[in-house]
Chains A and B, each alone.
Chain A
Amino acid sequence: MTMKLAEALKVIQSALSDAPRLEVALLCGFTPLHLKTFLRAHLCKLFPGRSPNVQTGLFGDLIGNLQRVAGVSAAAVVIEWPDLDPRLGLRRLGGWEPSQLQDILGEVNRSCDLLQTSLAAVARSTPLVVCFPTLPLVPVSFSPLARASEFTLELRSRVASLSAALSHLADVRIVDPQRLDALSLSRRLDVNSDLSAGFPYTLSHASALAEVLAVLVLNPQPKKGLITDLDDTLWRGILGEVGVQGISWDLDNHSQIHALYQQLLHSLAASGTLIAVASRSDRSLVEEAFAARDPILREADVFPFEVHWGAKSESVARILGAWNISAEDVVCVDDSPMDLAEIKGAHPGAECVLFPRENPQAAYELLERLRDWFGKGKISQEDGLRAASLRANAELQHGIKQESPGASSDFVRQIDGKLTLSSQKQPLDSRSLELVNKTNQFNLNGRRYQEAEWQNWLNAPDAVFVAASYRDKYGPLGKIAVIAGDLLNGVNVNGVNSDSSGKRRLCIRTWVMSCRAFSRLIEYECIRWLFDKLDVEELEFDFLPTARNTPMQNFLQEVRNAPPEPHCRLSRAQFLKSCPTSSHVVEESPNG
């Protein structure tokens, strides 16, 4: 059900006007009219703490609008057929004669080339959401409507090529026509509105398109982990009743939907999603089933297995502990409404969804929802390492527990840790920003950034950026920490940035570290490196307590020997008194 225009206007009217602005550009060649209204309303809903404003350009000048865009957090570009050749619209009369079709194709080619150059230029500084023509083609070709002509096929092929070429660029998000088809079911072209106001969309289509554009502007972070039941969910049948050979996931046993579910989970695991099992069953039987029946979801894809006869909510609690993430970041899938209710009661933030075992259509729709929850634009190196590093972390924690109290730094010295630090600010490193926007626990203040804000800040000459990657004998963890701050203004006689005391100081405004890297004293190594590399006498922390940054609070308390507070400071001398001796090899990488 798409948003109505009246509802959109009410959403906009009730939005907080004194909240921080979120400037978004809507660039198109037609009158943006209700699309602008719907986009703003959807942005208001998706960014509740912000006051979204939608800037638009000039009618009929899409390329010019692209060239003029500046100072926005993101730009949504909506291309329609007349932007490629005005003869493909209703407001211009250039002729639809068969002899003109080749010329139209030539013009479309030129427009596509120009658009590719212009869009790529904007994408270098501004995240772009791009939508290719959504309206039916005007009856320009000589063939009957049911028959695709060579002309229309070539036209669509050219647009598809442009779309594919742009999708390779960082920070370009292309609207998927399939998603739009699912939301915009009724008539799209409003001839009356196009002729009278230059706005070609029906209200329902404008609303659906705006919803998709707003979601892509938001670019939501994916959920991190999926916890699945086994019986009548991962496979058909109850293992304890039908035995290892009785469970199934195939066409012959009418259980193919379970195979598709396994296939999706295997794909999610390979894309960096954490997969765990919470099942009330016999552990040895489950091990036998995985060994003997070779399911599509491999045993290695799953960590941890919580298989016993205890409460599911307790299993979920242990899994969240092993993953070191919060319930808000997980989806639990189970065929038992009662078990889901029990989990939800204990972990209200978790998304709990029923596996509809008797309804393949509904189960397929669940697969689509799961893909949406866990979907990401790109797969990073860290995505491939995540599950393995969590397993390794469990081994590490086990090793630390074996040591005597206070001996953890001795243990950490034995694991051959190697920390690689990079202070390269260009080009924009999407993994670093992802880490900043996803990390909750070891996070200085919980502040999140849009790409353009982040890039603009780092471009400032006094901005300092450090990204840390780590590996030890348990394997690589990939990029695990990001520190960004400013060398404060105030210039002393030597021309070095300093405060009034003359001490050179770094104000750290963002510091995050993945929970996978905890217990390795990496945070101390980072601080040591900052003091040495930047030659600062003092660090200032733009600290704010959040509901979930207790690990950061504990660290600041420990290193400063005082409760953390906003803008608290740490001097080099103070740090040297409290820090453990260096435990890792630290090296610098110029390449990020």
Chain B
Amino acid sequence: MDELESRLVNCFATAFPELDPQEIPSVSMASLASWDSLAGITLLSLIEEEFSISISPDDAAGFVSFELILNHLRLSPEAAK
């Protein structure tokens, strides 16, 4: 797990404290009942805060799993800093 992924895991762990850290890389909105719209907004805000980035509403609509968010961050030059 690289640093970027580890930071994203921390964001998930803060937003969903009930999750086992081992499970986080495989979670998605479909598999995690507590990932509702409110939790999704909190997660997005945590990611914006952690990576000092601004996520557009269009991008946010596609943030439905850990893996997809991680892929987005890997492509973002600001997040990789």
Contacts and interface: CB of A to CB of B under 8 A. Distances in A.
Nearest to B18: A13
A196 B49 contact: no
A4 interface: yes
A203 B17 contact: no
B11 interface: yes
B24 to A, nearest CB: 15
A121 to B, nearest CB: 31
Nearest to B40: A197
B53 interface: no
Interface in A1-31: 4-6, 9-10, 13
A120 B65 CA distance: 48
Contact of A192 (B15, B49, B54): B54
B56 A192 contact: yes
Given A6-B49, A9-B14, A37 B42 contact: yes
Contacts of A34: 42, 45
B50 A6 contact: yes
B9 to A, nearest CB: 12
Interface string B15-33: 1010000000000000000
B14 A196 contact: no
Contacts of B41: 33, 197, 199
B69 interface: no
A10 B42 contact: no
B41 to A, nearest CB: 5
Nearest to A12: B17
B79 interface: no
B47 to A, nearest CB: 10
B57 A196 contact: yes
Given A13-B17, A197-B41, A5 B56 contact: no
A517 to B, nearest CB: 51
Nearest to A37: B42
A197 B48 CA distance: 15
B70 to A, nearest CB: 18
Interface residues of B, number: 17
Nearest to B57: A196
Interface residues of A, number: 15
B45 A5 contact: yes
A557 B1 CA distance: 67
Interface in A423-456: none
Interface string A279-319: 00000000000000000000000000000000000000000
Nearest to A197: B41
B46 A192 contact: no
B68 interface: no
A195 B17 CA distance: 28
A5 B42 contact: yes
Interface in B25-79: 38, 41-42, 45-46, 48-50, 54, 56-57, 60
Contacts of B14: 6, 9-10
Contacts of B38: 33
A422 to B, nearest CB: 50
Contacts of B15: 9
B46 to A, nearest CB: 6
Contact of B11 (A6, A192, A197): A6
B16 to A, nearest CB: 10
Nearest to A4: B49
A199 B45 CA distance: 12
Contacts of B48: 203
A58 to B, nearest CB: 15
Contacts of A196: 57, 60
Contacts of A192: 54, 56-57
Contacts of B46: 5-6, 9
Contacts of A195: 57
B67 to A, nearest CB: 21
Contacts of A199: 41
Contacts of B42: 5, 9, 33-34, 37
Contact of B45 (A10, A13, A203): A203
A195 B60 CA distance: 13
Nearest to B15: A9
B54 to A, nearest CB: 7
Contacts of B54: 192
A539 B30 CA distance: 64
A34 B57 CA distance: 18
Contacts of B49: 4-6, 203
A9 B46 CA distance: 10
A4 B50 CA distance: 9
Contacts of B50: 6
Interface of B: 10-11, 14-15, 17, 38, 41-42, 45-46, 48-50, 54, 56-57, 60
Given A5-B49, A6-B11, A6-B46, 11 more contacts: A9-B15, A9-B42, A10-B14, A13-B17, A33-B41, A34-B45, A192-B54, A192-B57, A196-B57, A197-B41, A203-B49
The 9 closest A-B pairs by CB, nearest first: A6-B14, A9-B14, A196-B57, A13-B17, A5-B49, A197-B41, A5-B45, A6-B46, A5-B46
30 contacts: A5-B42, A5-B45, A5-B46, A5-B49, A6-B10, A6-B11, A6-B14, A6-B49, A6-B50, A9-B14, A9-B15, A9-B17, A9-B42, A9-B46, A10-B14, A13-B17, A33-B38, A33-B41, A33-B42, A34-B45, A37-B42, A192-B54, A192-B56, A192-B57, A196-B60, A197-B41, A199-B41, A203-B45, A203-B48, A203-B49
